[in-house]
Amino acid sequence: MIVVSSCLLGIPCRYDGTGFRRPDIMEILEGRDVLPLCPEQLGGLSTPRTPCEIVNGMVVGKDGIDHTGSFRRGAALALEEMSNFDVSVALLKEKSPSCGSCLIYDGSFSGRVIKGTGVFASSLIDMGVPVFSEEDLEGFISFLM
């Protein structure tokens, strides 16, 4: 089973109420078992919602409100859902405070990106689940072969 960030499958679960149309990803995943997960929605955050970034280990909204609890709850519920399946790998959305596996926004809400890991992606990496992003589809395809 492949865990995939729901928004990469076109599901409109992003903070701004959109999803991504990625025919290339759909083609790679065709015929494979996929578990779409959006940890932010699972954590009870609304869609649309205030954009959040990681600041000193906390997940804070652009409005200054601390949403760390919702992000952690969402990650825990996503892991619980995963436990029902034999998950071999994850394809997660880069730069997200939940799903980013190599890069995240720097917490200044200025569009700057730094090395870092989102709350959900961190949990998967800690568990030893191989995590790829949509920015490394070559690596992902190699893993699947």
List of residues contacting ligand SF4 (CB under 6 A): 5-7, 13-14, 38-40, 93, 96, 98-99
Give min distance, CB of 31 to ligand SF4, in A. 22
Q: Which is nearer to ligand SF4, 29 or 99 (CB)?
A: 99
| Closer to ligand SF4 by Cβ: residue 49 or 130 | 49
How near is the Cβ of 25 to ligand SF4 at its closest, in Å? 12
Q: With respect to ligand SF4, which residue has the nearer C-beta, 137 or 145?
A: 137
Are 59 and 40 in contact by the 8 Å Cβ rule? The answer is no
Shortest reach from residue 48's CB to ligand SF4, in Å: 11
Q: Please, where are the H alpha helices in the chain?
A: 23-29, 39-42, 68-82, 119-127, 137-144
* Burial readout 93-130 (b: 16 or more C-beta within 10 A, e: otherwise): bbbbbbbbbbbbbbbeeeeeeeebbbbbbbbbeeeebe
Q: Which residue lies nearer to ligand SF4 by CB, 115 or 145?
A: 115
